[in-house]
Amino acid sequence: MEWSSYHRLEDIHGYMDYLAETFPDVCSVVSIGNSVEGRPLKVIRISNGKANAPALWIDGGIHAREWISPAAVTYIINHLVENSEDLEADYYILPVANPDGYEYTFTRDRLWRKNRKRSVGSQCTGVDLNRNFGYRWGGLGTSKDPCREIYAGSGPFSEPETNAIRYFFEASAANFKAYLTFHSYGQYILYPWGYDKRVPPDYADLEMVGKQMATAIKKAGGANSVYTVGNSATTLYAASGGSDDWAKAILKIKYAYTIELRDTGKYGFVLPARYITPTAKEALAAVMVVTEACKSL
């Protein structure tokens, strides 16, 4: 894999399978389910087998058009596997959480956001997977209209893509301490809640580690790599049914963040490929800060 261009789903999945075949002692790939159109939801587990390691979940590509997210997440995978002897946590990584939407942005509509579910009784297609998780589903910042970009679906976890993530966590015995979901764009480090402007009881910890991430990102990326830290609803806008709210409230995973990668609007979702490597280095710096925070829990 190289990071000078954006890759199709097949390339990303092929790269994951290649890593699992080449480095069977440190990584393995499982499909946690299938998308609406039957594409696998591939998760790579990276671990060097050290006992009592905390586990981190990382996903990308929940929103189809946010191409920098799967690109940065695959870069993180590459780094973790290449430096596996130093790992201090176990990582479970889903680089493309919305594979149907992702492929659709290559073949039909570069700015598609949702999955590809056909709605009964509507001409419109697609559920916003980041409104479909089962905590405070259907609240502020969502829509019941299948034609809207923020359509929350017919019910919580109505979509196979979100349901597969839920099922994975129900079945997993790993000791998850962090849930990081990568989006674009805007350069934000967001923590719960998204459903309204309240904050969790331990928000001071989330704020502190968030600020540490922002500092590490600036160091990695330079003067323009300024990321704003705060709770989602206050910093950006209210949105219910997001994955980070569910991870925090239901799974009780302490460090739940939505990270909005580059840029701040010049190119938006259509970030030129020359920015993949610098942006991915920022994302990696954030992951390393969270890993460190998880170790001391």
Catalytic residues: 260
How many CB atoms sit inside 10 A of residue 63's CB?
26
**Inter-residue contact 90 to 55 (CB < 8 Å):** yes
Choose between 19 and 256: whose C-beta lies nearer to Zn ion.
256
List, in sequence order, every residue forming a beta bridge with 288; answer none if it has no partner: none
d(CA 202, CA 204): 5
Task: Give yes or no for residue 262 binding ligand ING (CB under 6 A).
Answer: no
Task: Give yes or no for residue 244 binding ligand ING (CB under 6 A).
Answer: yes
Residue 102: exposure state from Cβ atoms within 10 A (0-12, 13-18, ≥19): buried
Candidate ranges 76-84, 100-108, 212-220, 237-245; the one touching ligand ING (CB under 6 A): 237-245
Q: Considering only CA atoms, which of 295, 296, 286 is closest in space to residue 58?
A: 286
The correct pick among 101, 146, 194, 210 for binding ligand ING (CB under 6 A) is 194
The correct pick among 183, 248, 254, 262 for binding ligand ING (CB under 6 A) is 183
Task: Give yes or no for residue 258 binding ligand ING (CB under 6 A).
Answer: yes
Half-sphere exposure of 73 (CA within 13 A, CB side): 33
Q: Considering only CA atoms, which of 140, 112, 138, 139 is closest in space to residue 126?
A: 112
Choose between 50 and 197: whose C-beta lies nearer to ligand ING.
197
Candidate ranges 7-15, 22-30, 91-99, 232-240; the one touching ligand ING (CB under 6 A): 232-240
Rounded least distance, CB 224 to ligand ING, Å: 19
Task: Give yes or no for residue 236 binding ligand ING (CB under 6 A).
Answer: yes
Task: Give yes or no for residue 242 binding ligand ING (CB under 6 A).
Answer: yes
Task: Give yes or no for residue 126 binding ligand ING (CB under 6 A).
Answer: no
Token couple for 107: 């073949």
Q: Considering only CA atoms, which of 82, 14, 1, 72 is closest in space to residue 46?
A: 82
Q: Which residues bind ligand ING (CB under 6 A)?
A: 63, 130, 183, 190, 194, 232, 236, 239, 242, 244, 258, 260
